[in-house]
Amino acid sequence: MTRPTLIATGIAVLLAGALAYTLIRQGEMKQELESAAKSAKEAPAENFRPSANEDANSKAARERQRREAEASDLVAKYGESRTNLSKHVTGNVVSLLDDAIQMGEMAANGRFGGPFGGRGGLRMGLGRVANDLNLTEEQQQKAGELYSEFQKRELAKSKESVERLRKDPEALMKLMLASDAFARGEISEDEYKAAQNASGEDLNGILNPLNERNFRGGRPLRDNEFVSGLEGILDPTQVETLRKNVAEQPVAASPAEDEAAITSMPAMELEKLDTTIESVKKLTTGFKTVMEGFGGLQDLGPLMEQQRRQREGENAPAPAPAAE
């Protein structure tokens, strides 16, 4: 065999070996890919969760679809005109509740509250038990601090609840439409009460804007933290008086019977409810002005006292000369 032939034969063998290796490797890679695909198919779904943005977008889309479905159900049940009116009234209720929160903030900060905050608010919140306890000056000071903390907790809960209602008004729309239907004689009282109770969870924490007690100091005796703190500054006789009063506080058996909650609003037609809400809003606007006025008087008080002292100093007789 000549040298060129040997070289050609060697090259052929090398090419054949390379081809064989390539074919074998391709087979192995195919098996690996098939195995990986099988593993991916059999892997749990949580291993392939969407990104945070994709998950948030999907959640928002599902929520939007849910609201659209609920709105369609309300239109089918009550008609488009009544449904649209209920949405309008809900917006007015949210605006009224915003006013109530602002008033609460003014009362809680102690500057603009006047008789609505501090000791005045405490007396309104305690009701008749305030006279029964006959708090000392020191006790009134400490009880006022406890009441201020109670107001802050209530404001935080109210803000959260109102913001939830602002984003998802359908629960209140359902309640108003049921109220309207009952007032118009289209559903029975039992059906209306069922609607009130069904909306209780979704509207939890939303105060009844038509109950004036919700604008007069709230209900601190329903707050365990406030009651516990108040007991800590009372003597044994006062504690007994307080506990007796707390035990006599009415406990609502259902959302429909909770006078503090929005679910207990009296049944009325939507047009009447809208007019009533607007009237109450005029009152809250006036109350806010009065509270701001008290803040101005608080600034004026020290100034007037200073002027009084200056006048008294000017009019006071000159001191007698010292005897020689």
The rounded distance, in Å, linking the Cα atoms of 21 and 101 is 79
Please report, in tens digits, the pLDDT of each residue of the chain (324 residues total): 544 444 444 444 443 444 444 444 445 544 554 554 455 445 454 444 555 566 766 655 665 665 666 678 899 999 999 999 999 999 999 999 998 888 888 777 765 555 556 677 788 889 889 999 999 999 999 999 999 899 889 889 989 999 999 999 999 999 999 999 999 999 999 999 999 999 988 998 898 988 877 776 788 999 999 999 999 999 999 999 999 999 988 888 888 888 889 999 999 999 999 999 999 988 888 877 877 776 666 666 666 667 777 777 655 555 555 554
Listing DSSP states for 248-295 in one string gives TS---SSGGG-TTBGGGPPP--HHHHHHHHHHHHHHHHHHHHHHHHHH
Instruction: Judge whether 35 lies within some domain.
Output: no
Q: Please write the tens of the pLDDT for every residue from 150-169.
A: 988 988 998 999 999 999 99
Q: Can you read off the two tokens belonging to residue 23?
A: 């074919």
Q: Is residue 268 part of a domain?
A: yes
Look up residue 249 and give its amino acid: Q
Residues 80-125: tens digit of each pLDDT: 999 999 999 999 999 999 988 888 887 777 655 555 566 777 888 8
Rounded to two decimals, what is the model's pTM? 0.67
Instruction: Look at residue 258 and tell me if it is in a domain.
Output: yes
Range of the domain at 180: 76-288
The structural domain count of the chain equals 1
Is residue 109 one of the residues assigned to a domain?
A: yes
228 burial class (0-12, 13-18, 19+ CB within 10 angstroms)?
Answer: exposed
Looking at residue 12, its pLDDT comes to 41
In a domain? residue 51: no
Structural Rg of the chain based on CA atoms: 37
Domain membership flag for residue 14: no
Residue 310 lies in a domain: no
Q: Which residues pair with 261 in a beta bridge?
A: 207
Crossing angle for the helix pair 137-167 and 224-231, nearest 10 degrees?
170
Alpha carbons 213 and 224: distance in angstroms, whole number: 19
Residue 124 lies in a domain: yes
DSSP β-bridge partners for residue 207? 261
Query: Given this model, what pLDDT does residue 285 score?
Result: 84
